[in-house]
Every structure is written in C-alpha cells, then in structure tokens.
Structure 1
C-alpha cells in the first residue's frame, strides 16, 4: 500500500537532505565524535565529583582493596594447606597489621635513640655552613642568610601545598584518621571473608547481556592489581636494601647514629608513592649523610641513591613491572603527575594501579575476549577455597 505524505513532510525531507549535503562528511564525523566525548567527559566529571565528596570513604576503601589484593592469595594458600577459613582470614589481617605496626615502631625507636645526636650534628653543621658563608667569596651577613632561608622555606611550602592537601584533607583530625583506619580494617576483613559474593553482587547490577563481559573484565583487572601489588613490594624491597646497604657501608650505623634502619624503612614505604616517594626518601638519606659524615659522603650517598633509582627505572620497572601490568612508562609518569595534581598523595598512590587495572579491563572488553575466555586464568588469585 502506498504511503502518502503531505507536501510539508516532503518539503521537510528535502530540506534535511539539503542540509546534510551542505555539511562535509568529515564535519559530520567530527560532530558525532564530539558529542560522545562530551558525554563521556561529563560522566567522568560527575564520578570525580562524587569521589571528592565521599573521599573519606572512597580512599580507605581503595586502600582496603589494594591490601586485599595482597592478602587474598596468602589466605587461599593457607586454606589449601588445611587451615580453616576463619583462621586463615584472621592470620592474614592480623599479620599485615603486625608487620606495618612493627616497622613503624622500629622506626620510632631508632629515631628516638638517634635524635639527640642528629640534633647536635645538625646544629654543628649549620654553624659550620654559616661560618663558611660569612667568609669570601660570599661575605653574607646573618640577616642575608636568614632571608634566603625564609625564601627557600616559603618556596618549599608553596610547591608542596598541593601535594600535601590530599593527605591533610584525609587526616585533618584524629577522628577522621581513626575512622579511615577502621574503614580500611573492616573493608579488608569483609573482602577476605566474602569477596567473591560481593563481586558477584556487583556484576548482577549490570544488564544480563553485559554480565559476562563485566565479570571477565573484573577478574582480569583483579589479576592485574594482584600482580601490581606483589611487584611493587618487590621493587620497594630492592630500593630499601640498596639504599640501606649503601648507608651502612658509608658508616651511618656506627658512631652512635643508628639511622640505617629508619632510612631503609622510609625508602620502602616511600616507594609505594611513585616518583614522589623515591625523591623524598632519597633526599632524606643524603641529608642524614651530609649531617653526620660531611659533604663527600653525602655526594657518595647521592650517587648510591641515583644508582638504585636508575636500576629501578631501567631494569625493574620495564622488565618486571612492565611485564606484570603492561603499562608504558610515559603513562605511569603522566598518571602520577595528574593524580598528584588532582588528589595529592592519594592520587599519586592510586594512579598506577588504577591505570594498570583499567587498561587491562578496557582491553579485555574491547577485544571481545569475554566471548571466548569468560574467566581469565586467575589460578590462586581469586580461587575461593571452600
């Protein structure tokens, strides 16, 4: 049966065809991409706004997920060796608390024992430096030195304000800090106890046709996150041993200055914050060497720090980290910089694992692997031992 259209409808169709013909194909494609990019950007902006508003919950939850990525394989290993699930969960969580608490306690005790000597040597080195600046060729007065120090301190404060803002926002009060610790502990505990059921519940929130893709992407992302945590601990251990051994050889463990262990622990913990942590911990090691041993050992310590970081950057990161998470070093640097600018220390800390996990998940879905490989080979990473 013929379809009769009014004159106005025919005129409108002709006008639309004329309008489309007047726009080049390239412009139509650009317009189609533009509105899609705007929609994605708006969604990301909304997500970022929600994260910022709920940062007191989101950041501890992310820390718990990272800890769980380390502890779940250990818990499963204990279960495979005959441990009851409850005991395996308890040992996993209490063990990590004991290790972190032990490291921090050791650092505090070592610093307390070495602080009087550090204070005395710092004052002595400062007096020697000011005496040297008073003489030729500088001929600076005490007022000039105080002014330069004040300018340097203001510059440091200005440069570090953005970086520290995230940490200050998260732990601005003792109550907020305690609440964050409790969220981390309880979230880690429940992920260890019932992580698989929580994940399946999240998958069921998506449409039925998309669940296979979401499930496979989530499992592949979890595998990548687990590998990242293991490799990051190994890299941090290598940095701590290298710089700590260099400090020991230089003699920072002798003469009543037992600061090698705090330096090694600071390097180990700082390595979990890419780029920033390595720089801060390296500066600490060089400063201690300068105060206790003088300029020449400080230069040697600087060389040791640079050597260890070069080994990390050119050997460990490309071959070990690159193989584990498959992220280009440029993406790591830009991600850390962007994360630090947007969210301070938490942003720098979570940038690399977030990029690595999202990279694997998006690639898994884009390649259509969920059709042929709905369950990536996770081995002991997420296997739930009954």
Structure 2
C-alpha cells in the first residue's frame, strides 16, 4: 500500500467514500436511530455514572437515566401541545385576519397591476387546486413517516439501553481493531469524541431552553400572540444550521401574520429574532459550547443537505455532530488528516501557493494554525 502511487491511493479513497455513502443510504433506516441513540447515550453518561456512584445496579442506573430523559421530552411535548391547542382555539380570528390580509393584498395588486380581483381569484383558485394535490401527496408520505417515527420512538430507548449496557464490550471491540502501539492514540481520540459530543449536545439543550425563554419572553412583553410557540419552534429549528433559522423566521412571520390584523408585529418579530440570534451566535453559544472543534460553513451546509437527503429532518439534526466526530477521527489519522483539514475552520493565514510551509501536514503546523484561529484543545474527561 505504501508503494502504491499517490493517485491510485486517492482513487481508492474516493471509491471507498462512494461505497461508504452508498451503504449509508441503503442502511439509513438502521443507522439513523443507532446514531441518534449513540449521541443520546453519550449525553446520559454523566447521569448514569452518578447513579453508579450511589451503588445503583447497572440495569437500574440505565433505566432511571432513560426515564429521566423520557420525562424531559414528555414535558417538552406537553408544552408544545398546549401552545398548539391555544393556536387552534384562535382559528376563527386567524381565519378572519387571513381574509383581511388577502383582501388588502388583492386591492394593492389591482391598483398597481392590470390584474382585476376576478382574475386574481381565478389565479388563486387554480394554484390552490395544485397546492391541494401537492398537499395530498405530502400527507400520504407523512403517514409513512409517522409510522417510521413511531417505530423510531419505540426502538430508541432499547438502543440506548443496549449501548450503555454493552459499552465496555463495544470499547473492547474498538481497541481490538488496532495494534498495541496505537492504543494510547485511540484512547485519546475516544475521550476527545466524548467531550465534543457531550459539550455539543448539552450546549444544544441549553440553547433550546434559553432561546425559547428569551425570544418567547421578549415577544410576550411586546404583546405578540402565541409568543412562546414562536420561540419554541424557532429554538428547535435553529438547531439545523443555516436552514433552520430561515424556516424559523418564515414560520414566525406566518403565525404572527395570521394572529394579528396589523403589520407592525411582523417587523417586531423579525427584529427580535435577529437580535436574539445575534446574541446567541456571537456571545452565548460560543461561551457554552466553546471552540474545541470548528466546522467551516461550507462543510456544515453540505453536511446538512446530505444529511437531509439521506435521513430527512433527523439527518439534518445529526449532520453537525457526525461531522465533528469525523473531524476528530481524521485529525488523529495520518492517512486521512487532509479530510480533517477540509472539514475544519482553521484557515491558514498565508496561501500554500506562496508559502511552502503551509503545505506541510505536520502536527506542529496544524497546532500553530489552530492557535491562530483560537481553537481550544479538548480537556480530559473520565
């Protein structure tokens, strides 16, 4: 393998990536729940170890940890359902507001274009029929998605239980893949992955909480109807990098537009979301999650799109932690270090075209670039 030409090695790597991607697409029904269970089990490790510290048997410690997770998600679902019920109660008002907004829009269009109200109604009716047909197709596929979701919710606790119960066996399996001289680096990589996954997931949990309270609270003070629902929806959608924030803005505007006969609340919602998001991106989230691994925007967007194509919304949520884990593994591997550089946001200060030192793949060069980009080294975690 070492005597093989560089071009042949790169061709084998690309072929390997292709077949790996093909395998992931074919096995997405199995891999998506397993990955989700893996990340959640990493997040539950501190709670599990706390119960172990108080002499809980292994099985009981795992079951209590999973029950605590179920209670948290149950409270979130209850809160979301109560907000949706409030929205449904206001349906007559929403219907009236939507009608008024459409009439105002129709009058504005008629005054500035040659299209009369009758022509607009015909156009809207035609497009509505197309939309209803499209919606019927979506609802048909949603029924299948709902079945898949119920299966996922049933399998997820089982997967989490088994991953925690057999964690030592799985770790032994990983170490047996490598020679003894590599075990120290493997241990270091596993610890770093654990730290990054925990900090990322706990950071997201904290982010959802303060985004819901902060955004929903400010909108509630301003006097926006269904403020907490807008805050909760935006907080969860914001977990999907870039795409989620855009969808959150659109849904927030639509809920506000349907709930109010005036237009000023829309600008209030957009301004509040922009201010809260600026605070989140530049002050709060960097301090909570830190900068142990930086993923560049290009890798993030491509990862979200690929994850969505492979596993839908679950794939979008999982894309960033998966890329972060892959970057940790690639950075620790001699043969695949260039892929870690491709995923990272540690930009060289000088161009490799003009400064030959930037072409070096040594650890010293990488550490210097990380230092200049303020990337923190991972801390040890037991």
The TM tier, using the shorter chain, reads: 0.7 to 0.9
2:154 to 182, 187, 190: 182
Quote how far apart the aligned CAs of 1:89 are: 1.8
Give the drift of 1:188. 0.7
Distance 1:137 1:89, change over 3 A: same
2:106 paired with 1:147: no
From 284, 288, 307, the counterpart of 2:251:
284
1:162-182 CA distance string (max 9 Å, x none): xx9xxx69x825543333223
Q: Are the equivalent residues in 2 in contact too, given 1:68–1:192 (CA < 8 A)?
A: yes
Q: Which residue of 2 aligns with 1:234?
A: 206
SS at 2:111 equivalent? coil
1:245 alignment counterpart: 217
CA separation of 1:173/1:351 partners in 2, compared to 1, >3 Å: closer, same or farther? closer
Given the two structures, how large is their TM-score scaled by the length of structure 1?
0.74
Deviation at 1:362, TM superposition (A): 2.0
Query: Helix, strand or coil: the match of 1:136?
Result: helix
Equivalence for 1:16: none
Q: CA deviation at 1:320?
A: 4.2
Assess, with a 3 A threshold, how the Cα gap between structure 1 residues 285 and 120 changes in structure 2: closer, same or farther: same
Tell me how far apart the structure 2 counterparts of residues 146 and 100 of structure 1 sit (CA, whole Å): 46
Cα gap change, 1:142 to 1:185, in 2 (>3 Å):
farther
d(CA) in 2 for partners of 1:270, 1:193: 32
Cα distance in 2 for residues equivalent to 1:198 and 1:81: 24
**1:319-358 residue pairs with structure 2 within 5 A?**
319-341=287-309, 343-358=311-326
TM-score, normalization by structure 2: 0.74
Q: Which residue of 2 aligns with 1:109?
A: 82
CA offsets per residue over residues 292-314 of structure 1, 9 Å max, x none?
Answer: 23210111111111111222233
Counterpart of 2:166 in structure 1 is: 194
Once the two structures are TM-superposed, the CA of residue 215 in structure 1 deviates from its matched residue by 3.7
Instruction: Provide the alpha-carbon RMSD of the alignment.
Output: 3.4
The CA deviation at 1:262 is 2.8
Residue in 2 aligned with 1:10? Answer: none
1:144, 1:274 → 2: CA distance?
A: 37
Q: 2:242 matched to which residue of 1? A: 275
Q: Is the 8 A contact 2:211 2:232 kept in 1?
A: no
Contact 1:57–1:180, Cα closer than 8 Å, also in 2? no
Superposition pairs of residues 1-386 of structure 1, within 5 angstroms: 32-117=5-90, 119-132=91-104, 133-134=106-107, 136-138=111-113, 140-145=116-121, 147=123, 172=144, 174-208=146-180, 210-252=182-224, 259-293=226-260, 294-341=262-309, 343-366=311-334, 378-379=380-381, 383=382
Aligned to 1:25: none
Contact 2:200 2:289 (C-alpha < 8 Å) held by counterparts: yes
Q: From the superposition, tell whether residues 244 and 174 of structure 1 become closer, same or farther in structure 2 (CA, over 3 Å).
A: closer
Distance 1:209 1:152 in 2: 66
Greater relative contact order structure (CA < 8 Å, 6+ sep):
1
Residue equivalent to 2:337: none
Kindly indicate whether the alpha-carbon contact (under 8 Å) linking 2:224 and 2:265 is maintained by their aligned counterparts in 1. Answer: no
Alpha-carbon separation, structure 2, partners of 1:303 and 1:84:
52
CA distance, structure 2, for counterparts of residue 332 and residue 154 of structure 1: 34
| Structure 2 gaps, min length 5 | 335-361, 365-377
**Cα separation, partners in 2 of 1:239 and 1:357, compared to 1, 3 Å:** same
Shift of the 35–151 alpha-carbon distance from structure 1 to 2, 3 Å rule, reads: farther
Q: How many residues align?
A: 331
Shift of 1:229: 0.7
Q: Secondary structure at the match of 1:172?
A: helix
1:244: Cα distance to partner? Answer: 0.7
2:128 and 2:242 map into 1 onto residues whose CA distance is: 22
Q: Distance in 1 between matches of 2:178 and 2:124?
A: 60
Q: Which runs of 5+ in 1 are unaligned?
A: 1-30, 254-258, 370-375
